[in-house]
Copies of this chain bind each other. A is one copy, B any other.
């Protein structure tokens, strides 16, 4: 079954790794903006957005992956002149991501809110990162900020959900991203979650990128799901929900 990895950082992957993903049926991937060290200036973000939106898309096409760029100011990438980066997004962005909160400082909340308001205004889908540390508490602040922005919940994927926060995220009407990687979810967690909450509101991703994480976890999860559930259901989380949210034709 063709798969959609809805959250990668393709910049950190070599071409042979992208090819391996493609060879293992991952044919669509959202490549999210992220700079692996704290940048000094918004220009670095803008050039990174430009790179993802052109060079990375082209690199994907060489190996048969449709790379869909997401541009946004990640909470760990807030820097001087980050507003210039948001202006670039306003003019050029189609998907806003990866945004979110890491420690939920006032500055992080401000940067997130500004980008969510932009997403609401321009009706752009968003990928919202939830952190590893203090996940429950900080997710509450994310949900508050989402509400405050007034954004339509259909535009929002709350990402890296786990058993602790998944129900709340779904109850507030958002999409939920299931990130399969060590330290986040494993394949068994995914099976448990969809068994309990169904297939309609989830997307799968690996968050693979600059690190040494397995880049095939979406394909592996889909295989495991296929052994237990109907093709009709599995297809939703494997590809269809992602295509719908991110308007992929």
Contacts and interface: CB of A to CB of B under 8 A. Distances in A.
A39 B45 CA distance: 11
Nearest to A81: B43
Contacts of A210: 55, 59
A211 B59 CA distance: 8
B62 A50 contact: no
A15 interface: yes
Contact of A212 (B51, B55, B62): B62
Contacts of A54: 37
A41 B12 CA distance: 22
A40 interface: yes
Contact of A37 (B12, B13, B35, B50): B50
Chain A's interface size range is: 20 to 34
A105 interface: no
A39 B42 CA distance: 12
Contacts of A40: 43, 46-47, 50
A165 to B, nearest CB: 29
A211 B62 CA distance: 10
A47 B62 contact: no
Contact of A17 (B16, B36, B46, B211): B16
Interface in A15-72: 15-17, 35-37, 39-41, 43-44, 46-48, 50-51, 54-55, 59, 62
Given A15-B211, A44-B48, 16 more contacts: A12-B14, A14-B14, A16-B17, A16-B212, A35-B51, A36-B51, A36-B55, A37-B54, A37-B55, A39-B43, A40-B50, A41-B41, A41-B43, A41-B47, A43-B44, A55-B210
Interface of A: 12-17, 35-37, 39-41, 43-44, 46-48, 50-51, 54-55, 59, 62, 210-212
